[in-house]
Structure 1
Amino acid sequence: MKRTVTLVLASGLMATTALSAAQSADLRVSWWGGDARHAATQEALQICGEKHGHNISPEFTGFDGHLERLTTQLAGGTEPDLMQVNWPWLPLFSPDGTGLADLNDYADIIDLSQWSDSLLATGTRNGHLNGLPVSITGRVLFANTETFAEAGIDVPDSWDGMTEAAATFKSELGDNYYPFDAATYNAMLITALYASQKTGVGFIDPVSNEIAWDVATLAEAIEFYQGLVDNGVVKSWETIAGMGNPNLQERGDWAAGEVASSYEWNSTYSQISGPFEGESPLAPFPAPRIEGAVNDGIFRKPSMTFAISANSDNPEAAAQILNCLMVEEDGVIPMGTQRAIPASQAAVDILEAEGLLASADLEANRLVLAADAPEPSPYFEDPGVRSAYEGVLEEFAYGLLSAEEAAQAIIDGTNDALARATR
C-alpha cells in the first residue's frame, strides 16, 4: 500500500506541477457503455474535475451508433476534448497518426510509465501515441477443474496433452465428454493461435497491414483444427451448428461439465461461470502450446482506449483529467472495473489494495499480461476480415474445401478486405 500511495502521489504531483500555470478549462468527455459505467464515470469525472479545477461536460451513449457519432464529430472538428475510442477505430480516425493528439507530448502530465512499452505500442500510429489503453483483453484457457479432476488428470498445458486428455475423457467419463471447445469464431482463433505459436507473428502485420503467414502455414493451422475434431478434443462445427450456435454459457453441455475448457476473453469469467451452481469450478490457465512454439501466440489487445482531440483548445487540461481517471486514486476508485481490470499498473495496485478485484478475474488478467504474445493488428477485427476468415473456415469444416484451398481463399479474401479497409 505504501508503494501505491507514493506512486499515486508522485503522479498527481507531476500532473499538478505541469499545469501549475493552467487556468480552469471547460472540457467535454465522451464514452459509451451501460448505466453502471455511466454512473461510475460521471462520479470519477466530478471528483477529478473538482480536484484539478476544470468544468467537465459528460457526453455518453450506448455502443450502438457511437462510432457514427464520433466519425461525424471528427470529420467536422467538433469532437470532445477527451474521448473513449474503441481500439479498432484508431486507424479509421488517425490513419497517419495525426488525426488525434500525440499523448507523448503530454508525458509530463500523464504518467506513461504505468503502461509497458508493448501496451503503449498498441495505441501508437506512425510513432504517435493516439490512444492510451484503458484495459487489456486477451484469450486464456478457462477450464472446469472438477471435470478434469474426475477424469484423474491435470489441465493440459500443451496441445499434445489436450489430445491425450480427449482419450482419457472418453474412457473415464464417457463419449459425450470433451476437454475443449472450439466453434465458429473460436475455431478461427484456434487456427490463429496455432499459426502464431508456430511463426511468432500474428495474421496481419500491424505495421505493413499485410498478411504475415503463407498458404502452407495457414493450411497447417487449419489441419490442426481438423485434428482436434477427429481426435475428439472438440465437437465439430456441424454439431455446434445443429445446436443453434448458442453462446457458451447457454449450452447445456458446458453447464453439465461435459465440455471442460474453452479459449475465452479473460474478462468473461463471471459470464461463462454463470451456469454453475455454488462455487464456480472454472479457473484460468495459460493457453496450451504446440511443440516448438515460438511464443504463447494468444490474441491480446486493448479493449478500448482514451484519446485526446487534436483540435482541443485545452489538451493539457484533458491530459490532467486522463491521468486522474487512470492513475490517481481519486479517479481510479470510482471508475473501478467498469471497463474491466485497468491496463494502468497504478490502477491495478490501487484496486487490489482496496479489495475491489475478484481473484479469478485478476489471475486471468495476469496471465494475459504475462503472455508472450505477437503485436496485434486492429484490422484483425475488421468485419470484412473476420467474414473472409470465418466464412471460409466454415466451408472447410463442412468438407467443401481442402485445407490448402481454404488457406488460399482466406488469404485472398482478407487481402480484398484489407484493401477496402485501408484505402
Structure 2
Amino acid sequence: MVTRRTFLRSSGVVLGAGAVGALAACGSDSGGEEDDGAPKDLRFAWWGHEEMHRTTVEALELYSSRHENVEITGENTSWDDFWDRMATQIAGGNGPDAFQMSNQMIVDYAQRGALLDLEEYVGDVIDLSDWDENLRSYGIIDGVRAGVPISTDAFTILADSDVLAELGLTLPEAAWTWDDLAELSLAVREASGGSLWGMSDGAGRYELVEPWVRGRGKTLFDVEADPVTLGFDKEDYGDFLQWWSDRRDEGACVPADVAAEDTSHETSPLVTGSAPLYFTTTSELTGVRALTPAAIQAVPMPDTDGGSKKANFVRPNLFMSAWTGTSYPTECARLIEFWINDPEAVEVIGNSRGVPPSPASAELVEDAPDASGLRTPAEYLALIREVGDPMDALTPRSGREVYQLMTRIGEEVRFGQTTVPAAVDSFFDQAASILGG
C-alpha cells in the first residue's frame, strides 16, 4: 500500500560533508545481508507537476502489489520544499530510502557522501545493457554510481503554432539563430498590432545562458578547474543580458510586469495567451500541452551564427538515487530496475518525466505521430541528436545556487534596478564566492 504525506516547508539546512559521513554510519551497512522475506517499509520522495505525481503513485502501488512484504510511503512536495526537506532529513539521519534526484543536484549530494553507490547492483539487479554508452555513464560521480537516469530531455522553445499561423508567421524546421528568434518575436508584436509580445523573458534562466555560451565554444562551468569556475567570461554574459534588454525595449519579449507573473506553466505567457513563444524543457511538453487547446510545437534552441558548438543537446534530466543510510539497498535497486525496465511500470509512468533512457522503454511509451506534424517528446529528442552536440557536464556542486543567482540578476536588470555592466560584475563576484566557498 502507498500512503501519502503532505509536508510543511522546512527551514533551509546546509548539508555538511562531515554530518553526512556520520549519518551514513548510523544507517544500515549497504553491504550487509538483506532479508528478502522480511517486511520492508520504504520511503520514496519526489517532486513534480500533477501528472508526475499521479504516475508516481500508480507506479509505487504497482510495485507494492507485486511485493507483499514491501510497503512504500510516498513523500511528495514542491521543487523548493523538496530540497529544504531533503537536506533536513539527511542531516537528521532520517533520509528517504529512495528518491527522485535532479541533474542539478546529484553531483552536490554525491560529493557530500549522501548517495548510495549503486554500481554493485548494475548487471545483476539493474539492467542498463541496451542503453547509450554516454547515458550509462551519467550518474557516475568520482567513481561512485550515485544515481541511475530515469528520463531524458532537452531545452526547447514551445510555440503556439495556431497564433503564429493566424499572424502569417512560420517556425523554423530545425536549426535557427538568435537573430532569427529576435526577428520572429518582433514580427509577432508588429503583426498583432501590439496586442501580443513575441516571447517570454528568458534573461534570468540558465536554460538560455547555456545555449548562448555553447554557441561561443564555452561551457556554463569549467568542471576541470579546482575549484570549479564559470566556463564563460563577462563579455559573454553581458552580451546575453543586453540581447534581452534590447528585445524588451522593442516589445519582442514580455515586459517586466508580465514576466513577474510567469511563475508556472499555468501562468506562463504561452498559456495565458500574451506571447506564443515559451522556454522550457521537453520533459514539460506533455504537461504544457494539457493546459491549452492550442497546437503547441517544440522547436530547438537557437544557435549562434557561425558558432563553434551547437546550442542543443540531450541530457539526463532526472535520476533515481538511494540514501547511504537506507536499510534496504537491494530493494532500492530493485525499485530502480522496475522503474526503468518493467513494461507495465514504464507504460504507467509514460513520458511524464521525459523520454525513458532505455530504447526499449522509450518505444513502449512513444506517442503516435501527430497528423498535424506536432513533435512528440521522442521525435524532438531525435531531432536534437541530429542538430546538436553532446552535453558538456552535469551541474557541479553549488551550481544550483549559481542558477538562482542568474534568476535574481535577470530580475534586477529586467526591472531597471541595475545596469547590464553592473549586473555582470555583481554576478561574477557572487558566482566566484559560491563556487569557491
CA RMSD of aligned residues (A): 3.7
Aligned to 1:83: 99
Q: Distance in 2 between matches of 1:61 and 1:154?
A: 44
Letter in 1 for 2:298: P
Letter in 1 for 2:213: A
Q: Give the stretch that moved more between structures: 342-351 or 367-376.
A: 367-376
Letter in 1 for 2:100: Q
Q: Distance in 2 between matches of 1:253 and 1:37?
A: 25
Q: Distance in 2 between matches of 1:83 and 1:253?
A: 31
Aligned to 1:108: 123
Aligned to 1:17: none
Aligned to 1:388: 405
- Runs of 5+ in structure 1 lacking a partner? 1-20
What are the within-5 Å matches in structure 2 for residues 9-158 of structure 1? 24=37, 26-27=39-40, 28-33=42-47, 36-49=54-67, 55-63=69-77, 66-67=82-83, 70-71=86-87, 74-75=90-91, 79=95, 81-95=97-111, 98-109=113-124, 110-156=126-172, 157-158=176-177
- 1:222 aligned onto 2:234: no
- 1:234 aligned onto 2:234: no
CA deviation digits over 1:251-270, x for unaligned, max 9? 677544x5221221223334
Aligned to 1:287: 301
CA deviation digits over 1:92-125, x for unaligned, max 9? 43316x5433222222221223443433444222
Relative to structure 1, the CA distance from residue 179 to residue 320 in structure 2 (aligned partners, 3 Å threshold; closer, same or farther) is same
Q: Distance in 2 between matches of 1:37 and 1:124?
A: 27
CA deviation digits over 1:263-282, x for unaligned, max 9? 212233344445644xx221
The alignment's TM-score, normalised by the length of structure 1, stands at: 0.75
Aligned to 2:223: 205
Q: Give the stretch that moved more between structures: 24-33 or 401-410.
A: 24-33
Q: Give the stretch that moved more between structures: 21-30 or 109-118.
A: 21-30
CA deviation digits over 1:14-60, x for unaligned, max 9? xxxxxxx995465425223566245313233125537xxxx323121
1:135/1:341 contact within 8 Å kept: yes
Q: Does the residue aligned with 1:113 lie in a helix, a strand or coil?
A: coil
Q: Does the residue aligned with 2:232 lie in a helix, a strand or coil?
A: coil
Aligned to 1:329: 343
1:204/1:377 contact within 8 Å kept: no
Q: Distance in 1 between matches of 2:210 and 2:424?
A: 12
2:150/2:320 contact within 8 Å kept: yes
CA deviation digits over 1:290-324, x for unaligned, max 9? 20233343586544321234455654454233212
Relative to structure 1, the CA distance from residue 159 to residue 380 in structure 2 (aligned partners, 3 Å threshold; closer, same or farther) is farther
Relative to structure 1, the CA distance from residue 185 to residue 317 in structure 2 (aligned partners, 3 Å threshold; closer, same or farther) is same
Relative to structure 1, the CA distance from residue 244 to residue 90 in structure 2 (aligned partners, 3 Å threshold; closer, same or farther) is closer
> 1:133 offset after TM fit, Å?
1.6
Q: Distance in 2 between matches of 1:29 and 1:415?
A: 37
Relative to structure 1, the CA distance from residue 206 to residue 57 in structure 2 (aligned partners, 3 Å threshold; closer, same or farther) is farther
Q: Distance in 2 between matches of 1:203 and 1:297?
A: 15
CA deviation digits over 1:328-349, x for unaligned, max 9? 2243234444544433333212
Aligned to 1:11: none
> 1:126 offset after TM fit, Å?
0.9
Q: Distance in 2 between matches of 1:66 and 1:248?
A: 19
CA deviation digits over 1:125-174, x for unaligned, max 9? 21211011222343201112223333434214222222332454455442
Q: Normalized per residue, which structure has more helix?
A: 1
From 200, 205, 210, give the equivalent of 1:181. Answer: 200
Q: Does the residue aligned with 2:393 lie in a helix, a strand or coil?
A: coil
CA deviation digits over 1:1-20, x for unaligned, max 9? xxxxxxxxxxxxxxxxxxxx
Seq. identity, %? 18
